[in-house]
Structure 1
Amino acid sequence: MPLSRPIALSCGEPAGIGPDLALSLAQQDRDYPLVLLGDRSVLAERADALGLTVQLHAWEDGDTAREAGHLSFLHIPVHSPVRAGHLDPVNAAHVIRLLEIGCDGCLGGRFAALVTAPLHKGVINEAGRSFSGHTEFLAERSGAAQPVMMLACPGLRVALATTHLPLRQVADAISPKGLESVIRVLHADLRRLFAIDNPRILVCGLNPHAGEGGHLGHEEGEIIAPLLERLRREGMQLNGPLPADTLFTPKVLEQGDAVLAMFHDQGLPVLKHKGFGKAVNLTLGLPIIRTSVDHGTALDLAGSGRADAGSLQAAIGLAVELAENQPEIPS
């Protein structure tokens, strides 16, 4: 059913392309309600730099602007003047505040979903706050026990058993308990969000050739395979552990609804090669709907007019689709 509550769009790092992408949405009419979370002066100055005529309307609760040339926004001030392309750690608190307001608004029923423009993890950590990514932050904020990061593009969905870890820590992070939690979240949200009644999940091995029968690693035989067999007995359709170098081929992929990769750079390079600019980052296992772009802050493009809004449009489109599939929260 059509949305009665707006999609919240966090504009992300103010010196990056987040404001540019947000403003690009004003170039055409929208059939969904949208509220930008950002600083009014940053948005106005960036619109001027891009040569865009955009009327910004302060939003509290109620109707949102949907016609071309107009955008609704919730003013969340920066702490230091912003120059496109130039990071300032002082504004890290602003970026965090965008996420807090967006997440809390979804939890409280004010927003239907949260879409996040890119932020810069390095400058947030430089400002003295330990921050490993949107996924982990939103899980902690919303009280989610097991967030799962998924990227999706036309024809491919890839979820991750581990997220932003140094490679030398990945093997130690693959445990029966943790992997089972990830698989259960992935299976449940493929059903709940994507309406796939009996999802087929292709599971990567951790090591080359999925361990080569124990000659190239023991995690497949000791952890992954026994767990998959146990979950199959519950009725889950799980294929694996499969060698990652042959799993990502058309004949294998057509046998699954999603891929579970063991670590970040095992699955995401393939997905981004296939769908960069059209891919969406989706956090599973949260009590809210959260989608994001598949790219970073692109500081060199900020304010230039050369930023591609394709991934943001795809992220909003998926957020709207998933939100429309959920039951309305009673007023």
Structure 2
Amino acid sequence: MRRLTQDTQANERGAITVIVALLMVVLLGSVAIAVDFGVIHSERAQLQSGADAAAIGMAQKCARDASDPLCSTTSTLAGSLANQNALDGMSKVHSIALDKTARTVAVATSAKETGGTDNSVSLFFADILGVPTKEVGARSSAVWGSPKAGRTAFPLAFSICQVKGHVDGSLQLLQDHGSNTNPDCNYGPSGAAVAGGFGWLAPDAGKCGGTIDLALSEGGSDTGNNAPGNCSTELNRWASEITAGREIVVLLPVFNSVVGTGTGAVYGLISFAAFKVTGWKFSGNSGLPYEFRSEISAATGVTSSTECKGDCRGIIGSFVKYVSLADGYTLGPVDEYGATIARMTL
């Protein structure tokens, strides 16, 4: 009996040893897979960030100037942005698909290692099983263009007379009762489009701004003498951002024709312009939200000629060349008034 018991225990110990050995193989294999999977996942994430940055960077460059050498299939910008998003500073731009007519760009990136094979990342444990590398890549695309339809942040439209020749960043005071800045473009008495250089558009119900489609004429809501409704929150936000040193640039419609006056005015819209706001005065009351005058400082270059005070009703700022990452706009060909949008599509 003693000998039988000893033999049984020895057999059990031997069986356990075999089971432990088999489990160790499975366990080590699982660890190997987890480590290599983590390497692949990290590499793919870096490549995706690089592809995203390259696509949006090229779209912004093409939006500003489609003839720029950096807006081309041989652009060095894509590779530079892709490398900046790689932890080791190395990646490969596999391809750039650029369509300037459709205003789209797609960038494909792949892994790159010093002394290694392009397009692949080296594996640590899988190499033991005969799988030394894994192809890893990413792709991203972007589109650019001028906005043709979308929701404005503010129910304001400018005459082309005030925009034409002024998309240069120069500071302007745009008054609602006064002649336009361009004497070659007259729609009414003293060069005024309606009862002023800009007009209030009909806003969406309960909103500050309105939904605009350049293919359609837009009805007016006022000549601008009264403060806009439902805009207190938006104007207070603008003031807070400007005071904190941040820019407020809004996309506002531009019209080149108008029929009727006051609330009966109908504007023929042709474009969106990018306007950087620095101050405003929309009513006779002093202070926020309908008067903001902290723009009067040496830092912003405001002079007495661009200050809006007393009976003045207007907005101070500048038309700028602007590339926006704004969503929610339908895009078309880039126009001359400065407002362009570049955004990711994939």
Q: Same fold (TM over 0.5)?
A: no
- TM-score, reference length from structure 2: 0.28
Larger radius of gyration: 2
Considering Cα pairs closer than 8 Å and 6+ residues apart, tell me whether 1 or 2 has the greater RCO.
1
**TM-score, normalization by structure 1:** 0.29
